[in-house]
Amino acid sequence: MFKLNEDYLALRGSYLFSTIAKKVAKYKEENPDRTVISLGIGDVTRPLTPTILKALHTAVDEMGNEATFRGYAPDLGYEFLRKAIAENDYKKRGCDIDKDEIFVSDGAKSDSGNIQEIFSGDNVIAVSDPVYPVYVDTNVMAGRTGKFDEKTGQWSRVVYMPCTLENGFCPQIPSKPCDIIYICSPNNPTGTALKKDELQKWVDFANEKKAVIIFDAAYEAYISDPEVPHSIYECRGARTCAIELRSFSKNAGFTGVRLGFTVVPKDLKDGNGTELHSLWARRHGTKFNGAPYIQQRAGEAVYSPEGQREIAGLVSYYMDNAKTILKGLKEAGYSAFGGENAPYIWLKTPEGMSSWDFFDLLLERANVVGTPGSGFGPSGEGYFRLTAFGTKDNTVEAVSRIKGI
């Protein structure tokens, strides 16, 4: 008789954004006359830009021609894309990353969920609190997190690094031992970005303790502060302790296109000298069959001079929204953070309301959807996330409605 994976059954409720989607669907069904604006899930709204569209059309045409048709992609991704990434995202910033250390994938969500698989089941993870829920959830599914405590909202074998108003929403080096450290910078949901000297401390700590850092840089395109690194490999010694996750979703608007990549330097080895690169390659080769050719050509186009100009335009559009939200919230008397190096605004709920109560209030009174901070970790309770990814009109309207509550 087959049995199910008990670790799956231990998961708390459903995935945050699925829960929100269901609540919103129910509200819309019951209130068909209301126009609900979502500044909730971090999904972009601007269409793909001309250079990307051209690359997609050209690649589709190639797939219709026997001479240029492409079947299975190489395991790691096409060299044309890996070269463009190595050159533009790394060499240009002085980072020593080779094209063969880059693994092209269908997106950073898959990679951030799957990367834990190559580590031992008894390794202890450390996470910023609050943070993108996929890190903890996928470790729960792997049985790595111990027992859940209903009172604290914490898993017994997870080291939480509270990011609070008091520490400027920056994770502090933990005193408890940990093996795998997830850092997201610029952070989702707080919008906080670590400066180079702060990130360097993490790299030094990981090298000293032989821990590994999973560095999620999905929002690097939104960094405006020159002191904030775009890649962890801008720090000395990161090649021996860090894996970096990257996405095309937020810079080029690929949330529905699906493309991302993960960097695993060949200098990153365990205590026995085994390269993590070889394990990740094995996973990629066994459980994944490559990102689509047409998507990889679209990714290549992102790095062309025209592509770079166009995506800078997208980022600037969304960051104007961030300014609108920040300004509006402050005018309405809210305490709000982030929004300067990230497309996320992190606000304190008024009068000590719980995150989910504020979610309901905003949905019902302003018909605006945001994300409850508690969904990102226990220290997110009492906070709320708004994203800058809406259209300009919707963002202006949403802010005006929030001010009207």
Site for a second copy in 114-143 (CB under 8 A): 114, 117-123, 134, 137-138, 141
Tokens of 296: 């990889």
Yes or no: say if 123 and 273 are a contact pair by the CB < 8 Å rule.
no
Q: What distance in Å separates the CA atoms of residue 283 and residue 315, rounded to the nearest whole number?
A: 33
> Exactly one of 224, 274, 335, 400 binds a second copy (CB under 8 A); which one?
274
Nearer to a second copy, 62 or 234 (CB): 62
Nearer to a second copy, 293 or 358 (CB): 293
Residue with structure tokens 């890190």?
Answer: 135
Minimum CB distance to a second copy, residue 350 (Å): 30
270 is a contact residue toward a second copy (CB under 8 A): yes
Nearer to a second copy, 36 or 118 (CB): 118
Q: What distance in Å separates the CA atoms of residue 305 and residue 2, rounded to the nearest whole number?
A: 55
Cis peptide before 130 (omega within 30 of 0): yes
Q: How far is CA 89 from CA 230, 232, 340, in A?
A: 8, 11, 21
Yes or no: say if 221 and 231 are a contact pair by the CB < 8 Å rule.
no
Nearer to a second copy, 35 or 289 (CB): 289
Q: Which stretch binds a second copy (CB under 8 A): 83-91, 101-109, 224-232, 375-383?
A: 101-109
Q: What distance in Å separates the CA atoms of residue 104 and residue 291, rounded to the nearest whole number?
A: 7
Question: How many residues contact a second copy, by CB under 8 A?
Answer: 84
Minimum CB distance to a second copy, residue 47 (Å): 4
> Exactly one of 40, 77, 107, 380 binds a second copy (CB under 8 A); which one?
107
Q: What distance in Å separates the CA atoms of residue 128 and residue 383, rounded to the nearest whole number?
A: 15
Nearer to a second copy, 15 or 27 (CB): 15
Restricted to residues 357-386, the positions that interact with a second copy (CB under 8 A) are none
DSSP state, 75? T
240 is a contact residue toward a second copy (CB under 8 A): no
> Exactly one of 289, 316, 335, 400 binds a second copy (CB under 8 A); which one?
289
257 is a contact residue toward a second copy (CB under 8 A): yes
Restricted to residues 170-229, the positions that interact with a second copy (CB under 8 A) are 179-180, 209-212
Determine how many CB atoms are found less than 10 A away from the CB of residue 2: 3
Site string (294-323) toward a second copy, x via CB under 8 A: xx----------------------------
Restricted to residues 42-61, the positions that interact with a second copy (CB under 8 A) are 43-50, 53, 56-57, 60-61
Q: How far is CA 373 from CA 14, 159, 198, 263, 348, in A?
A: 16, 19, 24, 29, 9
Residue 146 Rama label (left phi>0; alpha psi -120 to 50; beta):
left
63 is a contact residue toward a second copy (CB under 8 A): yes
Q: What distance in Å separates the CA atoms of residue 376 and residue 110, rounded to the nearest whole number?
A: 18
